[in-house]
Structure 1
Amino acid sequence: MSVHWLNDFFAHNSSLLIFSNVLLQQLGLPVPAVPTMMINASQVTSLFALSAMLAAAVAASLIADLVWYQAGKIFGYKVLKLLCKMSINPGSCVNQTEARFVKWGMWSLVFGKFIPGFSTVAPPVAGALGMPRGQFLFASAIGAALWAGIALLAGYVLQDQISAAVTLLAEHGIQIITVFLCIFLTWFGWKFWQKRRFEKLASIPHISTDELAALAASNTPFQVIDLRSQTLIEETGVFPGALVRNVNKVGEQLEQVPSAQLIVTFCACPGDASAVHAAHTLKAMGFEDVRPLKGGFEALSQTTWIVPFKK
């Protein structure tokens, strides 16, 4: 059987193609949903067909959003940490996502579709923070309709321009693909450099929960800095005696901490990223012994020696 049957099938079922692309993209896969919507919209001749495409895109987006919402509701911040591992800056991803959601509320779901990456991480945050399902679906539907509607309308209005672009691609496909390949390789190289840079930063000496337990048992003075998001702290409580700080303001109001005293930083983020960045910031400020806690909040929550977090 020829593989061309699949192309022919999608050519006559453009709404299904849009549904599939949008669903996969909103679930987190790197597939081009907006170009697909624009190209398919440029082929239609009636607003009815355009409306069918819009309905397909909104339905797919809502299904994906509901999946992530339920995952956030059931598994909480573990889902967000998983998604943020794919971020260039995983340490700030968790806190920044929550900060945007807390600041914008339901509007973060409406306009979050236009922010690359945020459209995937916003739904689990909504579930983790207990946003009512009806309100969530309403906001997500509006956001999906705006996002998909603009893309489809642009494709419908710019039919001649898109047709010319497709013709240009057919005539000069090799050259255009070469340009895009160079752009992709440059982007990939930059991400690889970012990853290597963080790995170098993360080579700073860490402290384990067992070592922290031994210090606590010996009554050795040390200062813990809690870098978790405010909502997570309110949900789980504060580490006894810890100073709560934002990673960007970690050095504020530390005059009472001797420069030679051990400072332990911890977060609830992939790779202890915020704790690592905070440790380097404090070392640059003159604090001599700063160590990120290996495993962060997750490691602390699994220990039996520690006094329960205080709410």
Structure 2
Amino acid sequence: MDIAELGHTLQRDAVAVVFVNVLLQQVGLPVPAVPTLLLAGSLAALPGQLGKVLAAAVLASVLADLLWYALGRRFGYRVLAGLCKLSINPASCVSQTEARFIRWGLSSLVVAKFVPGFSTVAPPIAGALRMSLGGFVVAAAVGAALWAGLALGAGWVLRDTVQAAILALDRHAGRAALVAVLLAGAWLGWKLWQKHRFRRAGDLPHITPAELIDALAGEPRPLVLDLRGATLIAETGPIVGARVAEHDALDHAVGDWPRHQPIVTLCACPEDAGAIQAARQLMEQGYTSVRPLRGGYAAWLAALGERP
């Protein structure tokens, strides 16, 4: 569907189009909703019609959030780990996002729609952490209303500009499509370069679970930093002898530890992303013996003969 067809469709049934578009985007599909909201706002004839479109957008967003909330409540950390694995950049580990969510509480749901990536991750985290359903729905609805309302309002106020832009894009559809493809290719290329750069940065000595078990039985005993998110720790319990740490508060976690003593970082992230990040950060701070655990928490459980 081109821009002109989308405009005609929105004029006929803006409520249904916006509802479906927002629902698909918030479920996680790569379907941008902001351009549709801008266009719908510019085409709204009366404030009452704008209100109906806003209500449809909020309802669609809350329904998608409730789906993710239910999945998080039912499957817990497995949903979050799955979302993390789908990320192009494994360094954006869900445990770091989860820590910020716990710190900000309900207010994080209000701003989630404005933070790329966080919009999809926040609802299942809320479910996994057993946030009250009533509070979740209110916060998700307020956030959706702000997000969709700003886009619709901008389209309403700048209707002449939006319409002129649509006409220009329609006249130069081929060029516009080429620019869009080039921009998408540049974005994808940048993300893949980030992934490549992360893998190069991750080329540092690791410690295997068997080696860690032996080291814990000897001297000097290493400090194990557990970088898993609070959801997984709550589900499975703490690791005996380990110290729970957050990426944003590593200084606090290792403040009393000698810089020459061994440290092992452990996470439950794809490609040991969080553990590698923490290890590099600590080495930059002058800690001389820091190694990430190869395979993370799952490998640790396997070495102990337990199921993840």
- Smaller-chain TM-score bracket: 0.7 to 0.9
SS at match of 1:32: coil
Q: CA separation in 2, counterparts of 1:28 and 1:77?
A: 18
SS at match of 2:43: coil
Within a 5 Å distance, the mapping from 1:181-260 to structure 2 comes to 181-216=181-216, 221-230=221-230, 232-233=232-233, 236-250=236-250, 254=254
Within a 5 Å distance, the mapping from 1:48-87 to structure 2 comes to 48-87=48-87
SS at match of 1:116: coil
Within a 5 Å distance, the mapping from 1:44-193 to structure 2 comes to 44-87=44-87, 90-193=90-193
Q: CA separation in 2, counterparts of 1:169 and 1:244?
A: 53
Q: CA separation in 1, counterparts of 2:14 and 2:101?
A: 34
Give the Å deviation of 1:126.
Answer: 0.7
Q: CA separation in 1, counterparts of 2:301 and 2:134?
A: 32
Give the Å deviation of 1:22.
Answer: 0.4
Give the Å deviation of 1:217.
Answer: 5.7
Contact 1:206-1:292 at 8 Å conserved across structures: yes
Give the Å deviation of 1:180.
Answer: 3.6
Q: CA separation in 2, counterparts of 1:215 and 1:37?
A: 57
Q: CA separation in 2, counterparts of 1:47 and 1:126?
A: 34
Q: CA separation in 1, counterparts of 2:249 and 2:199?
A: 22
Give the Å deviation of 1:231.
Answer: 5.7
Give the Å deviation of 1:259.
Answer: 6.0
* Offset from partner CA, 1:155-178 (integer Å, 9 cap, x none): 223221111111111233344444
Equivalent residue letter for 1:297: Y
Give the Å deviation of 1:114.
Answer: 1.9
Give the Å deviation of 1:286.
Answer: 5.2
Q: TM-score, normalised by structure 2?
A: 0.84
Q: Compare 84-93 and 126-135 and name the one that shifted more.
A: 84-93
Aligned residues: 303
* Offset from partner CA, 1:257-298 (integer Å, 9 cap, x none): 566654321012232111112222344455554321123223
Question: Does 2:300 correspond to 1:290?
Answer: no
Q: 1:5 to 1:276 in 2, by over 3 A?
A: closer
Q: 1:96 to 1:272 in 2, by over 3 A?
A: same
Q: Compare 114-123 and 78-87 and name the one that shifted more.
A: 78-87
Contact 2:243-2:253 at 8 Å conserved across structures: no
* Offset from partner CA, 1:50-88 (integer Å, 9 cap, x none): 232222211211111011001111111222222233446
Give the Å deviation of 1:219.
Answer: 7.2
Q: 1:97 to 1:250 in 2, by over 3 A?
A: closer
Q: CA separation in 1, counterparts of 2:231 and 2:158?
A: 45
Q: CA separation in 2, counterparts of 1:111 and 1:189?
A: 28
Contact 2:89-2:192 at 8 Å conserved across structures: no
Equivalent residue letter for 1:81: A
Equivalent residue letter for 2:153: L
Q: CA separation in 2, counterparts of 1:253 and 1:43?
A: 55
Q: TM-score, normalised by structure 1?
A: 0.83
SS at match of 1:58: helix
SS at match of 1:281: helix
Contact 2:220-2:262 at 8 Å conserved across structures: no
SS at match of 1:264: strand
Q: CA separation in 2, counterparts of 1:131 and 1:178?
A: 45
Runs of 5+ consecutive residues of structure 2 not aligned to the other structure: none
Q: CA separation in 2, counterparts of 1:113 and 1:12?
A: 27
Give the Å deviation of 1:130.
Answer: 0.7
Q: CA separation in 2, counterparts of 1:255 and 1:147?
A: 41
Q: CA separation in 2, counterparts of 1:222 and 1:93?
A: 24
Percentage of identical aligned residues: 49
Q: Per chain length, whose mean CA-contact separation is higher, i.e. which structure has more relative contact order (CA < 8 Å, sep 6+)? A: 2
